[in-house]
Amino acid sequence: MRRVASSLLAAALAAAACVVLPAVASASPKARISKSYKLSALRTDIVVASPSMGKNIRVSVLTPRADRGPRSTVYLLDGAGATKGVSDWITKGRAGQFFADKNVNVVLPMGGAGTFYTNWRKRDPKLGKPQWETFLTRELPPLVDKQFNGTGRNALIGLSMGGQAAYTLIARHPQLYTGAASLSGCPPVSGPLNQGYVRTTVAKTGGDANNMWGPPGSRSWRAHDPVMHLDALRGKHLFLSAGSGAIGPLDLAPRTGDDMPQEAVNASGSALELGAYRCSLEFAVQLRQAGIAYTDGFRLIGTHSWPYWRQDLPLAWATVSRGL
């Protein structure tokens, strides 16, 4: 009997060895820095392999002249007309000079033109299916903190389209950001005028906003409207600025790089800024009615152009840096 039992046990063990167990699911791929380029003493460009975006995303990181230990991070978001190769904040906003003496990492993602730095619901024939919100809030911050000695404290400064995105991101992820600034942006997206601004901005780059948040007024539009999440902004360091659209001395100075005549550039900038001014004032009233503090940077003159945003940057920084 002992010999039979041993034979049966051996057979059972052999059969068990032949059983094919279900494969254990591998962990989801994580974002990683695939390349790094030291372009100057204070600027490093990194290439991030992003699972959410399904491609490599290039990001510039500005670091201070003096290393004074761990530092917080401010994300600078471009407007809808940003170039692909480098952030306009570097080439036009003089961010490198401004932040050189400040103990902060400055992160400038590239390639977000017309996307509102959000997660798109459907693939767009022109813009694809960007997943900027996931990239900016989940994938990129830990990489920046590890590579550039970050503290985990973050703030956002955006212009125009990037200003809207800054307020949407902080409203949807209040645990990640201590402050946000909008320069000539339109944070609220509810209502025909504000929805029209978003749709027109996306259309300028050939995209369709229906692929971004669905039909206007739908649940996804409301989910990305900071007005619907005002309590998340309470206690944050907030800055709002815009000009009235009136042409001022800075608009009369000669500019290089514009293909249109100066008069046409000013007329377009005036109209765009008037819309941002109206929308930003609307948002300011909504903040005030909710008892949420913010810093006012509204100007009686000024168009939708870089000379004014360069003036606004120190004011925006003075506000958001208080939380860093």
- What pLDDT does residue 265 have? 80
Residue with tokens 């003159």: 301
- What pLDDT does residue 263 have? 75
- What pLDDT does residue 19 have? 40
- What pLDDT does residue 18 have? 40
Q: How far does Cα 317 stand from its chain's mean position? A: 16
Cβ neighbourhood burial of 89 (10 Å; 0-12, 13-18, 19+): buried
CATH code that applies to domain 31-323: 3.40.50.1820
- What pLDDT does residue 244 have? 95
Which of 297-315 are b and which e, b meaning 16 or more Cβ less than 10 Å from the residue's Cβ? Answer: bebeebbbbbbbbbbbbee
In order along its 324 residues, the chain shows pLDDT tens digits of 434 344 433 444 344 344 434 444 446 789 999 999 999 999 999 999 999 999 999 999 999 999 889 999 999 999 998 888 899 999 999 999 999 999 999 999 999 999 999 999 999 999 999 999 999 999 999 999 999 999 999 999 999 999 999 999 999 999 999 999 999 999 999 999 999 999 999 999 999 999 999 999 899 999 999 999 999 999 999 999 999 999 999 988 776 666 667 777 878 888 999 999 999 999 999 999 999 999 999 999 999 999 999 999 999 999 999 999
Spans of all domains in the chain: 31-323
- What pLDDT does residue 3 have? 42
pTM for this structure? 0.89
